[in-house]
Amino acid sequence: MLDSSTAPGRVGFGPAWTAESLTIKTGALQPARGLFWHPAPGSDPADDICVHYSFTGTGMWVSPRQRRWAVLLTNKLYYTRDRQPLTAIRNTFRELANN
């Protein structure tokens, strides 16, 4: 996903698109956001970890500097719309995926 040279064919998201989509577009507004990414909560800016959370609870993290990406597929809507239990799971997953 982050290294198009390892793809067996044409990639959907090349390096230019990835860089552009992760660039903060909101200026001084908070929370800071790129095209659909934002800096991962609880991460150090030097780690260059961005995240996208979906309404259903799925999360996708990407770190070009570390050359890593991770996806957590969930369905929080099935049981409850309470965010806290899923927030703890997402944070633990991010820590495990990026360490």
Structure tokens at 79: 């049981």
| pLDDT at site 81 | 66
What is the predicted pLDDT for the residue at 80?
66
CA–CA dist 66, 74 (Å, integer):
24
Number of domains in the chain: 1
pLDDT score for 85:
77
Identify the residue whose tokens are 């067996």: 8
Write out residues in the chain with pLDDT < 50, as ranges: none
Cα dist from 50 to 21, 42, 63, 79, whole Å: 10, 11, 6, 27
Question: Would you say 63 and 50 are in contact if contact means Cβ atoms under 8 Å apart?
Answer: yes
Residue 24: domain span: 4-97
